A and B are shown apart, each in its own frame.
Chain A
Amino acid sequence: MEKLINTDLSILPEFQEKGLRDLILSNASKKTFSKEEVIVSQGVYNNQTGIILSGLLKVHLEGENSLILHHITPNNPIVNLMNLASDIPVRFSITTIEESTLLWIPNSKILELGNRFRSLKMHMISSSERNIESLIIIYRDLILMKTEERLLNYLKVKAMIYKNKNLKIPRTEMALDLNLSTSTISRTIKLLDSKKKIIQKKNSIILKD
Protein backbone atom coordinates (compact mmCIF):
# COMPACT_ATOMS: atom_id res chain seq x y z
CA MET A 1 0.00 0.00 0.00
CA GLU A 2 1.30 3.43 -0.92
CA LYS A 3 1.43 6.52 1.22
CA LEU A 4 -1.25 9.09 0.46
CA ILE A 5 -0.46 12.71 -0.14
CA ASN A 6 -2.82 15.64 -0.40
CA THR A 7 -2.15 16.25 -4.08
CA ASP A 8 -3.46 12.76 -4.91
CA LEU A 9 -6.95 14.15 -5.31
CA SER A 10 -5.93 17.21 -7.29
CA ILE A 11 -7.07 15.42 -10.45
CA LEU A 12 -10.57 15.40 -9.02
CA PRO A 13 -11.55 19.07 -9.26
CA GLU A 14 -15.20 18.25 -8.68
CA PHE A 15 -14.53 17.09 -5.12
CA GLN A 16 -14.17 20.63 -3.90
CA GLU A 17 -16.46 20.69 -0.90
CA LYS A 18 -14.60 21.71 2.20
CA GLY A 19 -13.23 18.75 4.10
CA LEU A 20 -14.22 16.08 1.54
CA ARG A 21 -10.78 15.47 0.10
CA ASP A 22 -9.19 15.25 3.55
CA LEU A 23 -11.82 12.77 4.70
CA ILE A 24 -11.39 10.65 1.56
CA LEU A 25 -7.63 10.65 2.03
CA SER A 26 -7.84 9.75 5.70
CA ASN A 27 -10.12 6.79 4.98
CA ALA A 28 -8.60 5.51 1.74
CA SER A 29 -5.82 3.14 0.89
CA LYS A 30 -3.84 3.82 -2.28
CA LYS A 31 -2.55 1.11 -4.54
CA THR A 32 -0.88 0.98 -7.94
CA PHE A 33 -1.61 -2.02 -10.16
CA SER A 34 0.49 -3.17 -13.05
CA LYS A 35 -0.83 -3.66 -16.59
CA GLU A 36 -3.24 -6.59 -17.09
CA GLU A 37 -3.69 -7.18 -13.38
CA VAL A 38 -7.08 -8.41 -12.16
CA ILE A 39 -7.95 -5.95 -9.40
CA VAL A 40 -11.50 -7.10 -8.69
CA SER A 41 -12.62 -10.70 -9.21
CA GLN A 42 -16.11 -11.77 -10.19
CA GLY A 43 -17.87 -13.67 -7.40
CA VAL A 44 -15.64 -12.36 -4.61
CA TYR A 45 -16.83 -10.13 -1.75
CA ASN A 46 -15.30 -6.68 -1.95
CA ASN A 47 -17.07 -4.01 0.06
CA GLN A 48 -15.08 -1.07 -1.18
CA THR A 49 -15.51 1.74 -3.65
CA GLY A 50 -12.60 2.82 -5.81
CA ILE A 51 -11.46 6.16 -7.15
CA ILE A 52 -9.16 5.86 -10.14
CA LEU A 53 -6.40 8.48 -10.08
CA SER A 54 -4.58 7.36 -13.22
CA GLY A 55 -4.60 4.56 -15.77
CA LEU A 56 -7.30 2.61 -17.58
CA LEU A 57 -9.56 -0.21 -16.39
CA LYS A 58 -11.75 -2.75 -18.12
CA VAL A 59 -14.95 -4.00 -16.45
CA HIS A 60 -15.84 -7.45 -17.78
CA LEU A 61 -17.54 -10.78 -17.20
CA GLU A 62 -15.35 -13.86 -16.87
CA GLY A 63 -15.49 -17.49 -17.94
CA GLU A 64 -17.55 -18.95 -20.77
CA ASN A 65 -19.74 -15.88 -20.61
CA SER A 66 -16.86 -13.44 -21.01
CA LEU A 67 -17.84 -10.00 -22.22
CA ILE A 68 -16.50 -6.49 -21.85
CA LEU A 69 -18.99 -4.21 -20.08
CA HIS A 70 -17.24 -0.85 -20.11
CA HIS A 71 -14.02 1.02 -19.44
CA ILE A 72 -13.17 3.21 -16.47
CA THR A 73 -10.87 6.22 -16.78
CA PRO A 74 -10.10 9.14 -14.43
CA ASN A 75 -12.65 11.21 -16.42
CA ASN A 76 -15.36 9.31 -14.53
CA PRO A 77 -13.31 8.32 -11.52
CA ILE A 78 -15.71 6.38 -9.29
CA VAL A 79 -15.22 2.60 -9.44
CA ASN A 80 -18.67 1.54 -8.22
CA LEU A 81 -18.86 -2.21 -7.60
CA MET A 82 -22.69 -1.96 -7.45
CA ASN A 83 -22.90 -3.57 -4.02
CA LEU A 84 -23.44 -0.51 -1.84
CA ALA A 85 -27.01 -1.47 -0.94
CA SER A 86 -26.27 -4.97 0.31
CA ASP A 87 -23.35 -7.22 1.04
CA ILE A 88 -23.21 -9.30 -2.14
CA PRO A 89 -20.26 -10.65 -4.14
CA VAL A 90 -19.12 -8.46 -7.02
CA ARG A 91 -20.78 -9.67 -10.22
CA PHE A 92 -17.96 -8.70 -12.60
CA SER A 93 -14.20 -8.49 -12.78
CA ILE A 94 -12.03 -5.43 -13.28
CA THR A 95 -8.67 -5.70 -15.04
CA THR A 96 -6.14 -2.97 -15.67
CA ILE A 97 -5.41 -2.21 -19.32
CA GLU A 98 -2.63 0.16 -18.34
CA GLU A 99 -0.77 0.62 -15.07
CA SER A 100 -3.36 2.23 -12.81
CA THR A 101 -3.47 3.87 -9.41
CA LEU A 102 -6.57 3.73 -7.30
CA LEU A 103 -7.81 4.76 -3.90
CA TRP A 104 -10.03 2.24 -2.13
CA ILE A 105 -12.54 3.39 0.48
CA PRO A 106 -14.83 1.10 2.53
CA ASN A 107 -18.45 1.22 1.31
CA SER A 108 -19.68 2.10 4.81
CA LYS A 109 -17.46 5.18 4.76
CA ILE A 110 -18.47 6.15 1.21
CA LEU A 111 -22.14 5.97 2.24
CA GLU A 112 -21.40 8.09 5.29
CA LEU A 113 -19.47 10.67 3.25
CA GLY A 114 -22.17 10.59 0.57
CA ASN A 115 -24.68 11.72 3.19
CA ARG A 116 -22.53 14.70 4.03
CA PHE A 117 -21.10 15.76 0.67
CA ARG A 118 -23.31 16.53 -2.28
CA SER A 119 -20.57 16.23 -4.92
CA LEU A 120 -19.68 12.72 -3.80
CA LYS A 121 -23.33 11.67 -3.80
CA MET A 122 -23.79 13.01 -7.32
CA HIS A 123 -20.75 11.05 -8.45
CA MET A 124 -22.14 7.88 -6.88
CA ILE A 125 -25.49 8.36 -8.65
CA SER A 126 -23.76 9.12 -11.95
CA SER A 127 -21.51 6.10 -11.70
CA SER A 128 -24.48 3.80 -10.96
CA GLU A 129 -26.43 5.20 -13.88
CA ARG A 130 -23.46 4.84 -16.20
CA ASN A 131 -23.01 1.23 -15.11
CA ILE A 132 -26.68 0.42 -15.74
CA GLU A 133 -26.80 2.32 -19.01
CA SER A 134 -23.70 0.59 -20.30
CA LEU A 135 -25.37 -2.77 -19.59
CA ILE A 136 -28.51 -1.66 -21.43
CA ILE A 137 -26.39 -0.60 -24.39
CA ILE A 138 -24.51 -3.91 -24.41
CA TYR A 139 -27.78 -5.84 -24.24
CA ARG A 140 -29.24 -3.71 -27.03
CA ASP A 141 -26.16 -4.24 -29.20
CA LEU A 142 -26.13 -7.99 -28.55
CA ILE A 143 -29.73 -8.16 -29.71
CA LEU A 144 -29.75 -5.74 -32.61
CA MET A 145 -26.29 -5.65 -34.08
CA LYS A 146 -24.57 -7.94 -36.50
CA THR A 147 -21.18 -9.31 -35.43
CA GLU A 148 -19.37 -6.97 -37.84
CA GLU A 149 -21.14 -3.93 -36.40
CA ARG A 150 -20.29 -5.00 -32.83
CA LEU A 151 -16.64 -5.54 -33.74
CA LEU A 152 -16.42 -2.22 -35.58
CA ASN A 153 -17.99 -0.37 -32.63
CA TYR A 154 -15.61 -2.13 -30.26
CA LEU A 155 -12.62 -1.03 -32.38
CA LYS A 156 -13.96 2.53 -32.49
CA VAL A 157 -14.24 2.61 -28.68
CA LYS A 158 -10.69 1.26 -28.35
CA ALA A 159 -9.39 3.86 -30.85
CA MET A 160 -11.11 6.60 -28.87
CA ILE A 161 -9.69 5.35 -25.57
CA TYR A 162 -6.15 4.94 -26.90
CA LYS A 163 -6.45 8.06 -29.11
CA ASN A 164 -4.94 5.98 -31.86
CA LYS A 165 -6.49 4.37 -34.95
CA ASN A 166 -3.70 1.82 -35.20
CA LEU A 167 -4.84 -0.84 -32.75
CA LYS A 168 -2.73 -3.69 -31.48
CA ILE A 169 -5.25 -5.95 -29.76
CA PRO A 170 -4.77 -9.74 -29.83
CA ARG A 171 -7.65 -11.64 -31.43
CA THR A 172 -8.06 -13.74 -28.30
CA GLU A 173 -8.67 -10.55 -26.34
CA MET A 174 -11.24 -9.31 -28.86
CA ALA A 175 -12.92 -12.72 -28.73
CA LEU A 176 -13.14 -12.62 -24.93
CA ASP A 177 -14.31 -8.99 -24.91
CA LEU A 178 -17.10 -9.67 -27.41
CA ASN A 179 -18.06 -13.21 -26.36
CA LEU A 180 -17.17 -14.56 -29.81
CA SER A 181 -14.80 -17.28 -30.99
CA THR A 182 -11.38 -16.31 -32.37
CA SER A 183 -12.37 -17.81 -35.72
CA THR A 184 -15.44 -15.55 -35.85
CA ILE A 185 -13.21 -12.59 -35.02
CA SER A 186 -10.82 -13.52 -37.84
CA ARG A 187 -13.66 -13.94 -40.35
CA THR A 188 -15.22 -10.64 -39.29
CA ILE A 189 -11.92 -8.76 -39.50
CA LYS A 190 -11.52 -10.09 -43.04
CA LEU A 191 -15.06 -8.96 -43.87
CA LEU A 192 -14.51 -5.46 -42.44
CA ASP A 193 -11.25 -5.26 -44.39
CA SER A 194 -13.01 -6.22 -47.62
CA LYS A 195 -15.63 -3.52 -46.92
CA LYS A 196 -12.79 -1.03 -46.43
CA LYS A 197 -13.82 -0.22 -42.86
CA ILE A 198 -10.44 -1.32 -41.52
CA ILE A 199 -7.02 -2.28 -42.83
CA GLN A 200 -5.81 -5.59 -41.55
CA LYS A 201 -2.06 -5.66 -40.89
CA LYS A 202 0.13 -8.42 -39.55
CA ASN A 203 0.15 -7.24 -35.94
CA SER A 204 -2.44 -4.53 -35.92
CA ILE A 205 -5.70 -3.18 -37.29
CA ILE A 206 -6.02 0.32 -38.69
CA LEU A 207 -9.43 1.88 -38.34
CA LYS A 208 -10.47 3.92 -41.37
CA ASP A 209 -12.51 7.15 -41.15
Chain B
Amino acid sequence: MTPNLEKKTFPKKLYSFFEKHGEIIKITKKDNADNFIFNLEKKTYCFLSGLVKVYVEHECKKIFLFHLPNNKISFASLPSLKNEYNLKFKIEIIEDTTILINSNKNILELSHSHTILKNYIINSYQHFFLIMLKKIQEFTQKTLEDQLLNHLKLKATLYKQLEIVIPIQELATDLNFSREAISRSLKKLECDHKIIRKSRSIILLDVNFQSLAPLYY
Protein backbone atom coordinates (compact mmCIF):
# COMPACT_ATOMS: atom_id res chain seq x y z
CA MET B 1 0.00 0.00 0.00
CA THR B 2 1.31 3.48 -0.80
CA PRO B 3 0.05 6.42 1.21
CA ASN B 4 -1.47 9.10 -0.92
CA LEU B 5 0.78 11.85 0.34
CA GLU B 6 3.28 12.46 -2.41
CA LYS B 7 1.16 15.10 -4.09
CA LYS B 8 0.72 17.27 -1.00
CA THR B 9 1.86 20.75 -1.86
CA PHE B 10 4.75 21.91 0.20
CA PRO B 11 4.92 25.71 0.11
CA LYS B 12 7.45 26.64 -2.58
CA LYS B 13 8.95 29.48 -0.56
CA LEU B 14 9.50 27.22 2.42
CA TYR B 15 10.97 24.49 0.25
CA SER B 16 13.41 26.97 -1.30
CA PHE B 17 14.25 28.19 2.16
CA PHE B 18 15.17 24.71 3.35
CA GLU B 19 17.04 23.95 0.15
CA LYS B 20 19.16 26.99 0.79
CA HIS B 21 19.65 26.63 4.54
CA GLY B 22 19.35 22.94 5.24
CA GLU B 23 19.65 19.50 3.81
CA ILE B 24 17.07 17.39 1.99
CA ILE B 25 17.37 13.63 2.23
CA LYS B 26 15.30 10.56 1.40
CA ILE B 27 15.13 7.76 3.95
CA THR B 28 13.87 4.32 3.17
CA LYS B 29 12.24 2.00 5.66
CA LYS B 30 15.40 -0.10 5.54
CA ASP B 31 17.69 2.88 6.29
CA ASN B 32 15.66 3.60 9.37
CA ALA B 33 15.94 0.04 10.60
CA ASP B 34 19.63 -0.23 9.76
CA ASN B 35 21.50 2.93 10.42
CA PHE B 36 19.60 6.20 10.27
CA ILE B 37 19.19 7.76 13.69
CA PHE B 38 17.00 10.78 14.31
CA ASN B 39 18.86 13.19 16.52
CA LEU B 40 15.88 15.06 17.91
CA GLU B 41 17.87 16.79 20.64
CA LYS B 42 19.82 18.74 18.04
CA LYS B 43 17.93 18.68 14.77
CA THR B 44 14.60 19.64 13.29
CA TYR B 45 13.10 17.33 10.70
CA CYS B 46 10.39 18.47 8.33
CA PHE B 47 8.57 15.60 6.71
CA LEU B 48 7.90 16.47 3.10
CA SER B 49 6.49 13.23 1.78
CA GLY B 50 6.13 9.59 2.73
CA LEU B 51 4.89 8.49 6.10
CA VAL B 52 6.36 8.17 9.59
CA LYS B 53 5.01 7.37 13.01
CA VAL B 54 6.04 9.49 15.97
CA TYR B 55 6.28 7.89 19.39
CA VAL B 56 7.38 9.04 22.79
CA GLU B 57 9.32 6.51 24.84
CA HIS B 58 8.89 6.02 28.55
CA GLU B 59 10.57 3.25 30.53
CA CYS B 60 11.10 1.09 27.43
CA LYS B 61 7.46 1.51 26.36
CA LYS B 62 6.59 3.22 23.10
CA ILE B 63 3.52 5.45 23.06
CA PHE B 64 2.24 6.26 19.59
CA LEU B 65 1.45 9.96 19.16
CA PHE B 66 0.74 10.71 15.51
CA HIS B 67 1.67 10.27 11.87
CA LEU B 68 3.67 12.75 9.83
CA PRO B 69 3.19 14.41 7.45
CA ASN B 70 -0.55 14.87 7.65
CA ASN B 71 -3.27 16.54 5.67
CA LYS B 72 -3.84 19.54 7.90
CA ILE B 73 -0.47 20.94 7.07
CA SER B 74 1.91 19.49 4.54
CA PHE B 75 4.94 20.24 6.66
CA ALA B 76 5.76 19.61 10.27
CA SER B 77 8.58 19.54 12.71
CA LEU B 78 8.57 18.09 16.18
CA PRO B 79 7.97 20.19 19.25
CA SER B 80 11.51 19.67 20.40
CA LEU B 81 13.29 22.90 19.62
CA LYS B 82 13.76 23.54 23.30
CA ASN B 83 12.41 20.26 24.76
CA GLU B 84 12.38 21.39 28.36
CA TYR B 85 10.73 18.18 29.59
CA ASN B 86 13.34 15.92 27.97
CA LEU B 87 10.77 13.78 26.26
CA LYS B 88 12.30 10.98 24.24
CA PHE B 89 10.70 11.08 20.82
CA LYS B 90 11.15 8.17 18.48
CA ILE B 91 10.39 8.08 14.77
CA GLU B 92 9.59 5.02 12.75
CA ILE B 93 9.60 5.15 8.96
CA ILE B 94 6.49 3.51 7.53
CA GLU B 95 7.05 4.44 3.90
CA ASP B 96 10.08 5.94 2.12
CA THR B 97 10.16 9.51 3.32
CA THR B 98 11.68 12.77 2.15
CA ILE B 99 12.89 14.91 5.02
CA LEU B 100 14.23 18.42 5.27
CA ILE B 101 16.83 18.65 8.01
CA ASN B 102 18.33 21.54 9.86
CA SER B 103 19.79 22.01 13.32
CA ASN B 104 17.48 23.28 16.07
CA LYS B 105 19.97 26.07 16.65
CA ASN B 106 19.78 27.16 13.02
CA ILE B 107 16.01 26.91 12.95
CA LEU B 108 15.72 29.12 16.01
CA GLU B 109 18.25 31.57 14.62
CA LEU B 110 16.71 31.68 11.15
CA SER B 111 13.21 32.09 12.54
CA HIS B 112 14.28 35.53 13.76
CA SER B 113 15.00 36.74 10.26
CA HIS B 114 12.52 34.70 8.21
CA THR B 115 8.83 35.25 8.95
CA ILE B 116 7.89 32.23 6.81
CA LEU B 117 9.82 29.97 9.17
CA LYS B 118 8.36 31.60 12.26
CA ASN B 119 4.85 31.11 10.85
CA TYR B 120 5.71 27.52 10.02
CA ILE B 121 6.74 26.83 13.62
CA ILE B 122 3.62 28.51 15.06
CA ASN B 123 1.37 26.63 12.64
CA SER B 124 3.04 23.27 13.37
CA TYR B 125 2.82 23.75 17.10
CA GLN B 126 -0.84 24.71 17.00
CA HIS B 127 -1.50 21.61 14.96
CA PHE B 128 0.45 19.29 17.28
CA PHE B 129 -1.39 20.73 20.24
CA LEU B 130 -4.78 20.02 18.64
CA ILE B 131 -3.73 16.47 17.74
CA MET B 132 -2.66 15.70 21.30
CA LEU B 133 -5.80 17.27 22.74
CA LYS B 134 -7.92 15.14 20.44
CA LYS B 135 -6.04 12.01 21.49
CA ILE B 136 -6.58 12.77 25.18
CA GLN B 137 -10.27 13.44 24.61
CA GLU B 138 -10.65 10.21 22.65
CA PHE B 139 -8.87 8.24 25.34
CA THR B 140 -10.98 9.62 28.18
CA GLN B 141 -14.32 9.68 26.35
CA LYS B 142 -14.44 6.83 23.89
CA THR B 143 -14.69 3.07 24.31
CA LEU B 144 -11.89 0.90 22.95
CA GLU B 145 -14.20 -0.16 20.08
CA ASP B 146 -14.69 3.48 19.08
CA GLN B 147 -10.98 4.24 19.37
CA LEU B 148 -10.14 1.17 17.32
CA LEU B 149 -12.72 2.02 14.66
CA ASN B 150 -11.36 5.58 14.43
CA HIS B 151 -7.83 4.23 14.14
CA LEU B 152 -8.86 1.90 11.32
CA LYS B 153 -10.58 4.81 9.58
CA LEU B 154 -7.39 6.82 9.98
CA LYS B 155 -5.40 4.02 8.37
CA ALA B 156 -7.97 3.80 5.56
CA THR B 157 -7.56 7.54 4.97
CA LEU B 158 -3.77 7.28 4.94
CA TYR B 159 -3.80 4.48 2.42
CA LYS B 160 -6.94 5.52 0.53
CA GLN B 161 -8.40 2.05 0.69
CA LEU B 162 -10.89 0.32 2.89
CA GLU B 163 -8.99 -2.96 3.16
CA ILE B 164 -6.28 -2.48 5.77
CA VAL B 165 -3.39 -4.87 6.23
CA ILE B 166 -2.21 -4.33 9.77
CA PRO B 167 -1.00 -6.80 12.41
CA ILE B 168 -2.93 -6.94 15.69
CA GLN B 169 0.34 -6.24 17.50
CA GLU B 170 0.67 -2.92 15.65
CA LEU B 171 -2.90 -1.96 16.55
CA ALA B 172 -2.13 -2.88 20.16
CA THR B 173 0.99 -0.67 20.17
CA ASP B 174 -0.73 2.23 18.43
CA LEU B 175 -3.68 2.22 20.81
CA ASN B 176 -1.79 1.15 23.93
CA PHE B 177 -4.00 -1.82 24.69
CA SER B 178 -3.18 -5.52 24.92
CA ARG B 179 -3.43 -7.77 21.88
CA GLU B 180 -6.25 -9.63 23.63
CA ALA B 181 -8.26 -6.45 24.14
CA ILE B 182 -7.74 -5.50 20.47
CA SER B 183 -8.86 -8.98 19.34
CA ARG B 184 -12.00 -8.78 21.48
CA SER B 185 -12.80 -5.32 20.13
CA LEU B 186 -12.28 -6.41 16.51
CA LYS B 187 -14.70 -9.27 17.14
CA LYS B 188 -17.23 -6.83 18.61
CA LEU B 189 -16.85 -4.46 15.63
CA GLU B 190 -17.45 -7.37 13.30
CA CYS B 191 -20.59 -8.39 15.21
CA ASP B 192 -21.78 -4.78 14.88
CA HIS B 193 -21.19 -4.95 11.09
CA LYS B 194 -18.58 -2.17 11.18
CA ILE B 195 -15.76 -4.33 9.77
CA ILE B 196 -15.07 -7.68 8.18
CA ARG B 197 -12.07 -9.53 9.55
CA LYS B 198 -10.01 -11.52 7.07
CA SER B 199 -7.02 -13.70 7.80
CA ARG B 200 -4.47 -10.93 7.06
CA SER B 201 -6.57 -7.80 6.76
CA ILE B 202 -9.58 -5.84 7.98
CA ILE B 203 -12.22 -4.36 5.68
CA LEU B 204 -14.06 -1.25 6.82
CA LEU B 205 -17.78 -1.16 6.06
CA ASP B 206 -20.06 1.83 5.38
CA VAL B 207 -17.32 4.42 5.18
CA ASN B 208 -16.68 7.14 2.62
CA PHE B 209 -13.36 8.90 2.36
CA GLN B 210 -14.76 12.43 2.52
CA SER B 211 -16.10 11.81 6.00
CA LEU B 212 -12.72 10.39 7.02
CA ALA B 213 -10.56 13.39 6.19
CA PRO B 214 -10.89 15.15 9.58
CA LEU B 215 -9.69 12.02 11.35
CA TYR B 216 -6.28 12.15 9.80
CA TYR B 217 -3.42 12.52 12.25
Q: Give the B-binding residues of A (Cβ under 8 A).
A: 61, 64-65, 67, 82-86, 91-92, 111, 114-115, 118, 121-122, 124-126, 128-140, 142-144, 179
Contacts and interface: CB of A to CB of B under 8 A. Distances in A.
Contact of B132 (A84, A115, A118, A136): A136
Main DSSP-derived SS at the A contact region = helix
Interface stretch (B18-26, B113-121, B148-156): B113-121
B112 A121 contact: yes
A139 B63 contact: yes
Contacts of A143: 63, 139, 176
A133 B63 contact: no
Which 6 A/B pairs are nearest by Cβ-Cβ distance?
A135-B132, A128-B125, A132-B79, A85-B126, A85-B123, A133-B85
B108 A65 contact: no
Contacts of B4: none
Contact of B140 (A67, A86, A144): A67
Contacts of A121: 111-112, 118
Given A121-B112, A143-B176, A133 B58 contact: no
Nearest to A64: B141
Interface in B90-129: 108, 111-112, 115, 118-119, 121-123, 125-129
B112 A132 contact: no
Given A64-B141, A118-B112, A144-B58, A129 B126 contact: no
A109 to B, nearest CB: 15
B123 A91 contact: no
A64 B142 CA distance: 12
